[in-house]
Structure 1
Amino acid sequence: MIGATMSMKTNSGHKKKNKISKAESDFCIVSEYVTGGSLRSYLCKNRDKKLPIKVVCQFALDIAKGLSYLHSKKIIHLDVKPENILIDSQNKKLKLADFGEAVLNPLKLFTSGEVGTQGYMAPVLSKKPYGFKCDVYSFAICLWEIYCCEMAYTYDLENIPVEIYKHTCELSKILARLMQSCWDTDSRRRPEMKDGVVELEEIMKIEGWQALSKDQNNVFGCFGFLSHAR
C-alpha cells in the first residue's frame, strides 16, 4: 500500500430547478502496480504451449506462501482464483489480490454457496462453517488450471470433467497427490496450506530447481493499482 485518500465531491452538470445536488464520498487505495496483469490472462496467452513444470511448481509455491501467510494471520481469503492473482512481469512472482470477500477467522462464518466464485468454492457438508480449508480447495483448482492453462469448470464435484483426473496422472506423483488431497471433499483430509508450502519446496529441491525468490511477499493489498470503495 502506497497511500489512501477519502474525498467528497458534488455531482457535476447543470443544476435543475428544485433539484438538490448529491455529494459522493470516494475512498481510494493506491498500491503497487503489478505490470504482468492477472494470472488468468497469462494462462490464456499460454494455452497452446502450456507452462514448463518448473514454472507450474513455482507459481503454486507463490500462491501457497501467500495463503499460508494469510492463514497465519487468521485471515481466510475466500475468493482464490486466477483472476485474483497478479503477476510481477519482472520476476514472474505471483501475488494474491482482491480481499473483498476475506474474513477474520472465526469472527465471521459462512456456509456453502454464500461467498466466493462458483467453480472454486469448496463444498461444505452439513452446513458447516467455512474455514481455512476452503482456500486450500481453491488452491488445488488453481494449480490444475496453471498446469493445464485451461479452466477447470468444476461447478460441482459430481460433474468434474474426466480430463481433470487424466491430467493429474501426467504430473509427478508428489504434485498429483498434493493437488488431489487439497480438493478432497472432506475438508478434514485437506492439508494445511503451510504443509503445502513444505511439499512444494521439497519438489523443487528434489528436481534441483532454484526458487525464483526466497521471501514471502506474495500478498497484495488490492486488485490493480487503484481500488475504489463507496
Structure 2
Amino acid sequence: MDKLKAYEQLKKDLENAAVKRIMCGQQGMEDSDIHHEINVSLRLSHPNIVRLMAVARTESCFLLAAEYIHGATLQQVLHTDSCLVKLEGDDAGFISLDLSMAVEYIHAQRIIHQDIKPANVMVHHPSKKAVLTDWGMANIRDTVMLRQGSKFTAQATGPAGGTYLYMAPECILMFEEASFQTDMWSLGATYLEILTGSAPWMVKKQRELAALMATKTPPHALSHLSDKNSFLGGLVSYDPDSRPSASDVVKFLKSGLDLTSRYGYKW
C-alpha cells in the first residue's frame, strides 16, 4: 500500500514537472557521465535547489523530470517589465540569501555549480523563493564530482565553463579549473545584478572582458553597490583566496534581514 501511495504521489508530481532532454553523445558525454550526474542530482535535497524527480531513457536521449517552479527566471525578474514577479522591499536580500544557502549546501557536498547566473535561478510566484537550477546539466563533467578510476576526487573540478559575464578572472585569463572560489565570484556577479539592477560588466564580447580583467578592472556594477552591501563586493576580488565562502555570505545576509517576516522564525 505504501508503494502504491508513493507511486500515485510521484505520478501526480510528474503531471506538473519540467522535462529536460539530454541527447545521447551530446558534447562528447558518455552515458556513464550522465548516469553519474543523475545519481548525484537525485541525492541532493535542499529547499533552494530544484528537485530532480524522475529519469527516463530512450534510444536517443535521457529525459530528466524536475519539479516545476511557477514563476520566472531571475533574469526575467530583473530585466522584464511585464514579469509576473515583482521585487519589493527586502525581496532582493532574501533572494540573495536563498542563493547563498543553496551554494553553501552544494559546496558542503563537494559539488561546484560552475554556471551561477540569473538565468539559472527560478523565482517562485507568489512566495518569491529563489531556487538554483541547471547546476549539473550544461557541463556535466565539470560541475559534479569527477570519477578517477573507481574513486571520486575530493573536490569537483574541470575545464573552465559557464557564462563569461559571470566567470571568474582565473577562468577567463588563465583557463584554470572550476573551484569553490570561482563559484563564489559567479555568485558575487549575480548579487551585483540583483542589488544594482545592472549586469556586472558592460561588455559585448568575451575578449573585451578579458582585456578589462587583465588590468584587474572591477566589475562595472560594483560602483553602484551600496555601502551596507560592501562585504558582498569581496566576492569579486581578483584574489580567489580572499573571497568569502558561501557560509560567510549566509551569515552576513542573515544579519541584515528580518528573518521572522519571511520565514516566521529566526535560526
When the two structures are superposed, what TM-score results if normalisation uses the length of structure 1?
Answer: 0.72
- Matches for 1:3-14 after TM superposition, within 5 Å: 3-8=54-59
**Counterparts of 1:211 and 1:74, CA distance in 2:** 32
Deviation at 1:31, TM superposition (A): 1.4
**Is residue 72 of structure 2 the alignment partner of residue 37 of structure 1?**
yes
- The amino acid that maps onto 1:135 is D
- Matches for 1:70-149 after TM superposition, within 5 Å: 70-98=106-134, 99-100=136-137, 101=139, 102-104=143-145, 106=154, 108-110=156-158, 114-124=160-170, 128-149=176-197
- The amino acid that maps onto 1:120 is Y
Tell me, what secondary structure is at the counterpart of 1:191? coil
**Is residue 233 of structure 2 the alignment partner of residue 176 of structure 1?**
no
Structure 1 pair 107–57 and aligned structure 2 pair: CA distance change class (3 A): closer
Structure 1 pair 6–165 and aligned structure 2 pair: CA distance change class (3 A): closer
Tell me, what secondary structure is at the counterpart of 2:223? helix
Tell me, what secondary structure is at the counterpart of 1:75? coil
RMSD, aligned CA: 2.8
Aligned to 1:212: 262
Please list every run of at least 4 consecutive aligned residues from structure 1 whose deviation after the TM superposition is greater than 6 angstroms: none
- Matches for 1:33-72 after TM superposition, within 5 Å: 33-45=68-80, 51-52=87-88, 54-72=90-108
Structure 1 pair 126–87 and aligned structure 2 pair: CA distance change class (3 A): closer
- The amino acid that maps onto 2:247 is K
Aligned to 1:221: none
Asked if 1 retains the 8 angstrom alpha-carbon contact of 2:73 and 2:118, the reply is yes
Q: What residue ranges of structure 1 are gaps of 5+ in the alignment? A: 9-24, 216-230
* C-alpha distance after superposition, 1:28-73 (max 9, x if no partner): 11111111121101111259xx944511110110110000000000
Q: What residue ranges of structure 2 are gaps of 5+ in the alignment? A: 1-51, 146-152, 203-208
**Is residue 246 of structure 2 the alignment partner of residue 193 of structure 1?**
yes
Aligned to 1:164: 221
- The amino acid that maps onto 1:133 is Q
**Counterparts of 2:239 and 2:218, CA distance in 1:** 20
Asked if 2 retains the 8 angstrom alpha-carbon contact of 1:86 and 1:97, the reply is yes
- The amino acid that maps onto 1:36 is G
**Counterparts of 1:135 and 1:214, CA distance in 2:** 30
Q: Of Structure 1 and Structure 2, which has the larger fraction of its residues in helix? A: 2
Asked if 2 retains the 8 angstrom alpha-carbon contact of 1:59 and 1:94, the reply is yes
**Is residue 62 of structure 2 the alignment partner of residue 27 of structure 1?**
yes
Of all paired residues, the percent bearing the same amino acid is 24
**Counterparts of 2:264 and 2:112, CA distance in 1:** 23
Structure 1 pair 130–211 and aligned structure 2 pair: CA distance change class (3 A): farther
**Counterparts of 1:89 and 1:77, CA distance in 2:** 24
When the two structures are superposed, what TM-score results if normalisation uses the length of structure 2?
Answer: 0.62
Asked if 1 retains the 8 angstrom alpha-carbon contact of 2:216 and 2:238, the reply is no
**Counterparts of 1:85 and 1:214, CA distance in 2:** 24
